[in-house]
Structure 1
Amino acid sequence: MFRPKVPTNPLPTGIVTPPAVIEPTTVIQHTPGPAPAPVAPAPTRPTVQLTPGALLAVIGGGTAVVLVVGAVLVSMLLAVAITAASVAVCALVARSLITAEAKRR
């Protein structure tokens, strides 16, 4: 009663599938042709050569990036410090108001 009954799939009627025919494969021998012509070697990639002016430009650009990123990080730190100080002041004011109200009663 509590066991599931698995239905069996009925076979289709009137449809007869023919047996599969497997044909043997034939092996074709390949005769090698003439040897391929030698390929010229690809040109090597040019190396990057920095002139003194380009080297100064790279150093200047890197310094500018470091200064900008440092300024952004310092300003974010300053914003967090100012926010923390203002929250602390608000907490002190709220605490003094609560204690003053409790003393009046």
Structure 2
Amino acid sequence: MFLPKYPDNPTPPPTHTHTPTTTNPAPVQRALPAVSIDKNTIAVVLVGGVVLTALLAAVAVTAISVAVAAVALRSLLRDHNRR
């Protein structure tokens, strides 16, 4: 089996070197559009958050109620089948 002989450093020298420029270009200043937030916007966001939180709570309460009803129904049916 033939194994090639490698030099001490198998990484070849870079073929392209970066030459830095003497002056740096000025950074680009990007102006962001002005956003005005008034009291109505804050009120709408707060009301929307309250409504979404209430809906999430309603879904959670419904899921817990269905789970409790399923456990109770299962217990009743199990007791009914034993008789």
Q: 1:63 Cα deviation (Å)?
A: 0.6
For 1:46 and 1:39, how far apart are their aligned partners in 2? Answer: 22
With normalisation by structure 2, the TM-score equals 0.61
**Unpaired stretches in structure 1, ≥5 consecutive residues:** 1-7, 10-29, 98-105
- Kindly name which structure, 1 or 2, has the bigger radius of gyration based on alpha carbons: 1
SS at match of 1:39: coil
Task: Provide the residue aligned with 2:55 in structure 1.
Answer: 68
For 1:48 and 1:93, how far apart are their aligned partners in 2? Answer: 66
Find 1:59's aligned residue among 32, 43, 46: 46
**Unpaired stretches in structure 2, ≥5 consecutive residues:** 3-18
Count, aligned residues: 66
Matches within 5 A, 1:1-105: 35=23, 38-39=25-26, 41-45=28-32, 48-95=35-82, 97=83
Alpha carbons of 1:40 and 1:94: their partners in 2 closer, same or farther (altered >3 Å)? closer
Alpha carbons of 1:90 and 1:40: their partners in 2 closer, same or farther (altered >3 Å)? closer
Over the aligned positions, Cα root-mean-square deviation in angstroms equals 2.9
Amino acid at match of 2:48: G
**Percentage identity across paired residues of the two chains:** 17
